[in-house]
Amino acid sequence: MLSFEHSNVMSLIGVCIEGEMPLLIMPFMPNGSLLEFLRHHQQELFFNSATEPQVSSARSKLLNVCRQVATGMEYLAAHKFVHRNLAARNCMIDSYGLVKVTDYFRLTEDIVYGSSYNKEKGEGGSEEKAPIRWMAPESIENDIYTESTDVWSFGVTVWEIFTCGRIPYTGIPAMGLLKELQRGQRLERPDNEACSVEIYEIMMLCLSLESRVRPKFKSLVVRLSGLLQRDSGYPQLSDHFLCWKQSCPRQFTVTFVPTL
């Protein structure tokens, strides 16, 4: 993990092993989690009735977020690293507006989303938690984790992004979700005008029941980049709000995160 170096992946600076428990040293993310950020800026990003320029601007910003997350996941997949817990709450935003995939070693436990985690029995009878609403059917049923299962989680994350932080499958109990997914139940298209038919089709492709049908992150980055370039007119979105920047000053504040 110390070797990971990508603008859309949270870096691990080091580990402190002195004291009673190990501490991870990671960059400080002043803008918090993507989930909090989306909810805070909902009025700027979620429209039921608005002018085309407003909708187009929101779509470009949200597409840009999706592409950054997909780019970070493409990097992890290229390094044969399976995330297993991708969600908006596990992406952070730095002071430059860059979105960074984090929690790729499953160390954090979200309090607000506690009800979204289903308790399971781990080794030795200990209780473990699983983010059922973001998990692929084969992960829920057979404990299988691959790039394809991460792609499923990405599809749910894209839905979160375009709903500005709603909880997926709110009307379905976590324990009964697998059966509903196998019956064909899927997330409805967000009622945000910024979510086009093409974007929803990408979500549904990621949520294909057969894992072999789901795209790779590499192709998702290409597809999202194409939509973003078409909508914004530029290969790279230059807006300062959640902008895509190829290079940023290597400046950070250190914070300590205790391991579980």
233: its two tokens? 């007119």
CA atoms within 13 A on the CB side of 231: 26
Is the residue at 235 inside a domain? Answer: yes
The pLDDT of residue 52 is: 87
Residue 250: is its pLDDT beyond 50?
Answer: no
Residue 221: is its pLDDT beyond 90?
Answer: yes
The pLDDT of residue 251 is: 39
Is the residue at 2 inside a domain? Answer: no
Is the residue at 259 inside a domain? Answer: no
The pLDDT of residue 233 is: 61
Residue 260: is its pLDDT beyond 50?
Answer: no
Mean pLDDT in residue range 152-163: 98
**Residue 107's domain spans which residues?**
32-245
- Whether the CB-CB separation of 104 and 76 falls below 8 Å is answered with yes
Residue whose entry in the numeric block shows the structure tokens 């991460």? 150
Q: Which residues pair with 254 in a beta bridge?
A: 27
Mean pLDDT in residue range 16-34: 88
Is the residue at 256 inside a domain? Answer: no
Mean pLDDT in residue range 48-63: 90
Mean pLDDT in residue range 228-248: 53
Q: Which CA distances in Å does 59 have to 168, 183, 209, 220?
A: 20, 31, 27, 17
b vs e for 206-232, b when ≥16 Cβ sit within 10 Å of the residue's Cβ?
A: bbbeebeebbebeebbebbbebbeebb
Share of the chain above pLDDT 90, in %: 62
CATH number, position 49: 1.10.510.10
The pLDDT of residue 249 is: 38
pLDDT band at 4 (very low <50, low <70, confident <90, very high): confident
Is the residue at 90 inside a domain? Answer: yes
The model's pTM: 0.83
Number of domains in the chain: 1
The pLDDT of residue 103 is: 79
The pLDDT of residue 197 is: 96
The pLDDT of residue 12 is: 85
Residue 122: is its pLDDT beyond 60?
Answer: no
Residue 21: is its pLDDT beyond 70?
Answer: yes
List, for residues 56-80, the tens digit of each pLDDT value: 999 999 999 999 999 999 999 999 9
Q: What is the mean pLDDT of the chain?
A: 83
Is the residue at 164 inside a domain? Answer: yes
The pLDDT of residue 105 is: 58
The pLDDT of residue 15 is: 86
pLDDT band at 139 (very low <50, low <70, confident <90, very high): very high
For the chain, how far is it from start to end, CA to CA, in angstroms?
Answer: 17
Is the residue at 231 inside a domain? Answer: yes
Is the residue at 88 inside a domain? Answer: yes
pLDDT band at 26 (very low <50, low <70, confident <90, very high): confident
List, for residues 99-111, the tens digit of each pLDDT value: 999 976 555 443 3
The pLDDT of residue 130 is: 82
Angle of helix 197-206 relative to helix 217-232, nearest 10 degrees, comes to 170
The pLDDT of residue 106 is: 57
pLDDT band at 243 (very low <50, low <70, confident <90, very high): very low
Helices of type H across the chain? 34-40, 42-45, 52-78, 137-142, 147-162, 177-182, 197-206, 217-232
